[in-house]
Structure 1
């Protein structure tokens, strides 16, 4: 591995001033008829990503694509608009990064030119000054010494050391990092917390409770909360900053929660502890928690109509300024009048986009970071100067995407057959809206939120090819209240599947979808739902696309001797029996809802794709299903990306896969099908 720190280079990106009346990508006038955007426009890696403003607000760091395709770390001096490439590698990409202080950055690596099965290195850990000086490796990338049994003495931290997702104090060369306890391949223990000097590499471990899985730093950037999990129980522990001793605040069931359950959110500048909890409500909200009594405040600090709270608090100069949240889309609630006024100024300059404003943590300049996007505009990054009231365009994730060619996305809700309201996202091709071929895109998880309003590569690609896209947030999806989540327990292939079918009927009744040209598609759980949709509703779905999909619930729960799964033993023992189905008590239900055992009932055209290195849904799932359906269905297309894991990490494979999908859909519900 070779690191290159360049002190004198040509500008890597342009900081282009935008006047108040300037035209941004989101407001560009409609162009003349143009060729369809290519698959690469949607599925290549972003050209610019991850911009973060420095604690003072004078500098901006971001990842940029180098000429050889590798992503490097660059820093912009916002006073002079000068740019420096401060770190890149010849055999890896810069991965995650964050500011240690105004002079120094911490980062790790990834490899976007290798699939999961071909990767032989960890993320490593590195630090460098904003001018490219004092580069230092802090953690190893290789795990060879563990696999061979040799003992290599080194002052580097082991490869299983990782960055935290929290910014820390940002006032010294120290940071906190995580080190997972490594017991051997596939066997991970608790998560340690280390205080690390990014200049010297010296580190000390923080005393922790047993079975720690997560940490929260307080308003001073010091460890204050530890979350533990063992035998299906989670607990929240509080650290005494004077003694370093821990005491438990509350415990609850890891996968099903309980009346005392909460999720730590943040400590305010005044030491107030904010948490996210249901507190007997259907929708989770932000509360204050009394650290002495572990009691929640009577009223929530922030609650969102129709949605569980998801987001974070925004602090600057030791003051709580506002809160970032997600409802149908992301938004910001400012408590500070100055920030409210600034948001209004920015929104007036960028009226067609959502504009997310992030102030520096220790602001000494008038600069704030602005990230703008819409359903037709991929994210762009700008810097706003609150004194001059000017915007500088810094970078675009996908500059080749033309907003005037993109499709409108709408957040809707439809009623399931038992009356439950199902949220969904509908993307309609540009200039069209009636009797269209439609793809029902089912999200994975399933116990996650599927999406939000904004530019989506998959939905926009399908819409660009003339398909309406329906993405239902079927019961069991999170983010829409406790009732919606719990209504999905043990409903794989049953009511969760009915919700998807009811969405199709809604689209047909609205005149949006042609009932004879509808395909179902999805990955992971979405792949499972694709197969069960073809089983349960052959009259609705003319074809299916399943990638990395579960093909049998019992196989997922019990595994097979021929592969190693990355599903934890605790999830299998305490989560699956309650949320999905007990392999013993619910055996008959799991048989009836097994695509593998129902394979003979699937006669529609089907595209199957799996990753050869997938540990979440191992290739065995796909192979068993392919063999089971072969005698009954001759319209099955099969592809394995040998180096890929649970999804397609490599652009070449994403492009190849969606090329196949485009041809498959065109044949069965697209232009070719319409001619028949």
Structure 2
């Protein structure tokens, strides 16, 4: 009888273990998301800070060749939110539905935290996160950037100076600063401009300004680049675009440049339609 009791206890224990194992399997995450279905995940965390989150949009019928467009908002390096890029996100999802989209937030500069290199580090963390999860989401490691204003500066700077594995296949700058050694910045006494630049760091030495300038980081390995600027922009001088255009031409890097002479730091109407048509063609050609 004693032996029967021991056998019963053992059988009960084994049954319980099997039951628990079955329950755990039922609740386990799938090893790979169904690539035939579209998938959206909001506020995915890629770091410990509340601002280190992004929204992820995966297309249906994706494969290991599916490319990812990363959207980077503006706001003078100290403000802004990924919601500011929702129009671009909606445009891409509607007009280019075969691409994955990642719309990112990043830590914002303040009196205790300068933008550089903090925000570049955040972009690197996003790229590393995507690489670590590319099999789960069924995407490739190839990426493109669409950035606006300060976000365009960060997109260019990361793509030119920090993409050590050459994953970036195209980058778009909409009114992005490119060269902080430009006299249009160095000699400008506008307090609004000076206040914005403080967010990048208090070091005003030429070597530092060159380090944070896409113009000075571009090489022959820079990815295809498309740029849009306004001739009446009060925050980003026209020379920020034209000098970058000339540098890419000198380096023989594929690029497109559009200047809207009568526009400021953004535009609507027919010029915005022109921007989206050119951007769509550039993305589909190079990414």
TM-score range, shorter chain: 0.7 to 0.9
The offset of 1:420, in angstroms, is 4.9
Separation in structure 1 between the aligned mates of residue 53 and residue 158 of structure 2, nearest angstrom: 19
1:414 and 2:46 are equivalent in the alignment: yes
1:569 and 1:457, CA in 2 relative to 1: closer, same or farther beyond 3 A?
A: closer
Q: CA RMSD in A?
A: 2.9
Of residues 255, 262, 269, the one that matches 1:643 is: 262
The question of whether the paired residues in 2 share the 8 Å contact of 1:412 and 1:423 is answered with yes
The corresponding residue for 2:274 is 656
Q: Does 1:547 align with 2:166?
A: no
Q: Does the C-alpha gap of structure 1 residues 658 and 410 become closer, same or farther in structure 2, counting only changes over 3 Å?
A: same
Match of 1:524 among 109, 132, 149: 149
Aligned-pair distance for 1:502?
1.7
CA shift for structure 1 position 576: 3.4
Cα distance in structure 1, aligned partners of 2:234 and 2:120: 25
CA distance in 1, matches of 2:175, 2:85: 23
Supply the distance in 2 between the matched residues of 1:559 and 1:513 (Cα, whole angstroms): 46
- Evaluate the alpha carbon distance shift between residue 523 and residue 657 of structure 1 in structure 2; reply closer, same or farther with a 3 A threshold: same
Query: Cα offset for 1:530?
Result: 1.7
Q: Spell out, residue by residue over 1:424-449, the C-alpha distance to the aligned partner (whole angstroms, 9 max, x if none).
A: 122333x3566431111111112113
For residue 600 of structure 1, give the secondary structure of its aligned residue in structure 2: coil
- Of structures 1 and 2, the one with the larger relative CO (CA 8 A, separation 6+) is 2
Q: Using the TM superposition, give the Cα deviation of residue 621 of structure 1 relative to its aligned residue in structure 2, in angstroms.
A: 0.7
Scaled by the length of structure 2, the TM-score of the pair is 0.73
Residue correspondence of structure 1 range 152-551 to structure 2 within 5 A: 408=40, 410-415=42-47, 420=49, 422-429=52-59, 431-432=60-61, 435=64, 436-445=66-75, 446-452=77-83, 456-464=86-94, 465=96, 466-476=98-108, 488-491=113-116, 494-511=117-134, 512=137, 514-535=139-160, 536-538=162-164, 539-551=166-178
| Distance in 2 separating the partners of 1:625 and 1:471 | 25
CA offsets 1:585-640 (integer angstroms, 9 cap, x no match) = x5422221211122235531111111122121121111111112211134111111
The structure-2 alpha-carbon separation of the partners of 1:475 and 1:627, relative to structure 1 and needing over 3 Å to count, comes to same
Shift in Å, 1:489: 0.8
Give the deviation of 1:473 after TM superposition: 1.3
Q: Deviations over 1:538-576 (max 9, x none)?
A: 52211111111101234388355xxxx7x842661x663
| CA deviation vs aligned residue, 1:43-83 (integer Å, no higher than 9, x gap) | xxxxxxxxxxxxxxxxxxxxxxxxxxxxxxxxxxxxxxxxx
Trace 1:577-616 onto structure 2 (pairs within 5 A): 577=198, 579-582=199-202, 584=204, 586-600=205-219, 602-616=221-235
Shift of 1:490: 4.4
**Cα distance in 2 for residues equivalent to 1:590 and 1:660:** 31
Task: Determine helix, strand or coil for the equivalent of 1:498.
Answer: helix
Taking the aligned partners of 1:488 and 1:426, their CA distance within structure 2 comes to 27
Tell me, in whole angstroms, the C-alpha distance in 2 between the residues paired with 1:613 and 1:568: 15
Measure the CA separation in 2 of the matches of 1:663 and 1:502.
Answer: 29
The 2-side partners of 1:570 and 1:547 are apart by: 20
Equivalences, count: 241
CA distance in 1, matches of 2:282, 2:119: 26
Task: Indicate if the aligned counterparts of 2:70 and 2:103 stay in contact, CA closer than 8 A.
Answer: yes
Report if the CA contact (8 A) 2:71-2:104 is conserved: yes
If the length of structure 1 is used for normalisation, what is the TM-score? 0.33
Q: 1:450 to 1:590 in 2, by over 3 A?
A: same
1:516 deviation in Å? 4.4
* Structure 1, unaligned runs of 5 or more: 1-405, 478-484, 670-676
- Bigger fraction of residues in helix: 2
Write out per-residue CA displacement over residues 286-339 of structure 1, whole angstroms, 9 at most, x where no aligned residue. xxxxxxxxxxxxxxxxxxxxxxxxxxxxxxxxxxxxxxxxxxxxxxxxxxxxxx
CA separation in 2, counterparts of 1:461 and 1:604? Answer: 23
Q: Is it true that 1:623 corresponds to 2:242 in the alignment?
A: yes
User: Does residue 1:576 correspond to 2:201, yes or no?
Assistant: no
Paired residue secondary structure (2:145): strand
